[in-house]
Structure 1
């Protein structure tokens, strides 16, 4: 039994040593970090923008296209996690009828949000080397879908208005949706900033 514990302890030490080592080798350059900070000043939530994108500084480097692609992907990841959370809430048996109705509506809204963000990510990837009017058409589609996604997110939170729905469910949904809304808003701001620059 003692040998087994020792084996797992050594394995854990080796794992943490290797991850710490790899984290050190993939550290972003100061110019990449500065590019992200400077770009995030155009957003409504610059601190959140820097925090959510700095993890990907190495792949973003100083590429505006990679920056907006990453911002969109972050938004999509958060939206998908929120959709999973809301779906799990629909299975909760102790819900009040009005909570059930609000959660059901919310699930439809977040489903639409995810769908629009998926389309946006694909559209941006398909832009490729296109320029001029073709490029602007793709960017315009992305801007339209993200704006619609923001409306969906706000509509969900609005569905929990009123004192009757106050409580843990409302707070937990509100917190998650506010976060999704903010990263989505930041992604839109970055696309608006760099959208005219293919």
Structure 2
């Protein structure tokens, strides 16, 4: 009976998470055709281009054709999804009926996801420092911080998944977490790719002093 109740609780929590993902503002594909085209073209540089377009088309009017604004939107989506998943893991960590190994894996996952949220959260204002008055080494300093922190966030998300590998970890808990962590990791991977794209296209050119 206890396992059955646990199964139902996980299903209920999963449904809540599903609703949270799918009740977000729908993208307006006709509001700014030029921006939508720009987003689709930029998303080709990511590992998950379809997901990239799905997540970022809603920001077309803000992004327009700015690589910096696109990277900012991608980070915002990543932060939102990471926060939502962390809340889900936190709730899962408090329910009864988990096996000892599952309980520890969930606790570890909560720690790594919380760190992931922190890393993404501080990367957003740091990206903002790469403005028109930021040039040369100053630009590279700020954008390098963003790349480092978002990369660390992605590592945290993958670490959470690793905690559920091996025998005895193939139940409902693993299934419920896996789909969410994979989604967050894919969104974060896309955000990192777009940050890298922004950095590469706006990297200061070295001026040679050679005659």
- What TM-score, normalized by structure 1, do the two folds share? 0.85
Aligned to 1:127: 130
- Structure (1/2) with the larger helix percentage: 1
RMSD: 1.7
5+ residue gaps in structure 1?
A: 1-22
Task: Please point out which of 84, 87, 90 is paired with 2:90.
Answer: 87
Aligned residue in 2 for 1:32: 35
Match of 1:61 among 38, 59, 64: 64
Q: Residues of 2 paired with 1:180 and 1:24: CA distance?
A: 19
2:145 corresponds in structure 1 to 141
For structure 2, the 5+ residue unaligned runs are 1-25, 203-211
**Number of residue equivalences:** 176
Q: Distance between the aligned counterparts of 1:28 and 1:145, measured in 2?
A: 33
Larger mean CA deviation between 127-136 and 179-188 belongs to 127-136
* CA gap 1:25/1:183 in 2 versus in 1, 3 angstroms: closer
Worse-matched range after superposition: 141-150 or 24-33: 24-33
Q: Say whether residues 1:114 and 2:117 are aligned partners.
A: yes
- Name the SS for the 1:163 alignment partner: coil
- Larger CA deviation: 71-80 vs 26-35: 26-35
Q: Take 1:151 and 1:135, find their aligned partners in 2: how far apart are those partners?
A: 24
Q: State the match for 1:189 in structure 2.
A: 193
Q: Could you say which residue in structure 1 is the equivalent of 2:10? A: none
Is contact 1:124-1:138 (8 Å) kept?
Answer: yes
Q: 1:162 offset after TM fit, Å?
A: 1.5
